[in-house]
């Protein structure tokens, strides 16, 4: 019995070896070709575009573009320059309800000065003013809404100038203050 079992086990090993050797060690085919038959590798196709690439000049000088830029330059003149703002030299120049431009200095790594539109709530002592700040609603900085729960105390030296009274418009549940020109503000995002 021991001879029969050894002969049985030796035969399958020899047949497996002969099959493996014939697959791996084929003289006609290389190893890469046999992998290509088993594993299909994706082939990237070259894209051919019928569309021609066109290069435009960096400076466009058509009459319409020149007119457009002239009009946009003219629209920038709507800004209220600081020279036209009424300067506030004392607390008596202010009354409750005045619109003012206020600066806030932030001293972290860099010194940054923010400018906000605000309205006077109360006059306190000789140099302190209680204000409520506004935020711009549009990109042109002409429409402002009050920032809720943002009441601050500022000194007289932090007031840049007095703004003209805006037109008040109701938009939904909010009351917008619309100034006649662009106000130069720098708000924290």
Query: Which residue ranges make up each domain of the chain?
Result: 81-182
Please state the pTM of the whole predicted model.
Answer: 0.56
- The answer to whether the beta carbons of residues 150 and 130 sit under 8 Å apart is no
What percentage of residues in the chain have a pLDDT greater than 90?
31
Does the pLDDT value for residue 50 go beyond 50?
yes
* Residue closest to 157 by CA, chosen among 110, 108, 105, 107: 105
**What secondary structure, in 3-state letters, does the chain show?**
CHHHHHHHHHHHHHHHHHHHHHHHCCCCCCHHHHHHHHCCCCCCCCCCCCCCCCCCCCCCCCHHHHHHHHHHHHHHHHECCHHHCECCCCHHHCCCCCEEEEEEEEECCCEEEEEEEEEEEEEECCCEEEEEEEEECCCCCCEEEEEEEEEEEEEHHHEEEECCCCEEEEECCEEEEECCCECCCECCC
Per residue in 94-150, pLDDT (tens digit) is: 999 999 999 999 888 888 999 999 999 999 888 899 999 999 998 888 899 999 999
What is the pLDDT of the chain when averaged over all its residues? 77
Tell me what pLDDT residue 8 has: 44
């Amino acid at each position: 019995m021991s001879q029969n079992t050894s002969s049985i086990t030796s035969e399958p090993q020899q047949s497996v070896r002969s099959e493996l050797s014939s697959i791996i060690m084929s003289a006609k085919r290389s190893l890469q070709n046999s992998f290509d038959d088993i594993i299909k590798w994706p082939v990237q196709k070259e894209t051919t575009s019928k569309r021609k690439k066109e290069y435009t000049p960096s400076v466009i000088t058509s009459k319409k573009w020149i007119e457009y830029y002239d009009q946009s330059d003219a629209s920038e003149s709507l800004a209220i320059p600081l020279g036209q703002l009424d300067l506030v030299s004392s607390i008596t120049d202010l009354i409750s309800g005045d619109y003012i431009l206020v600066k806030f200095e932030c001293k972290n790594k860099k010194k940054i000065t923010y400018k906000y539109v605000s309205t006077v709530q109360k006059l306190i002592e000789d140099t302190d003013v209680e204000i409520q700040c506004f935020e711009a609603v549009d990109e042109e900085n002409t429409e402002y809404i009050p920032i809720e729960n943002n009441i601050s105390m500022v000194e007289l030296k932090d007031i840049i100038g007095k703004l003209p009274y805006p037109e008040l418009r109701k938009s939904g549940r909010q009351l917008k203050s619309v100034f006649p020109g662009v106000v130069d503000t720098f708000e924290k995002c």
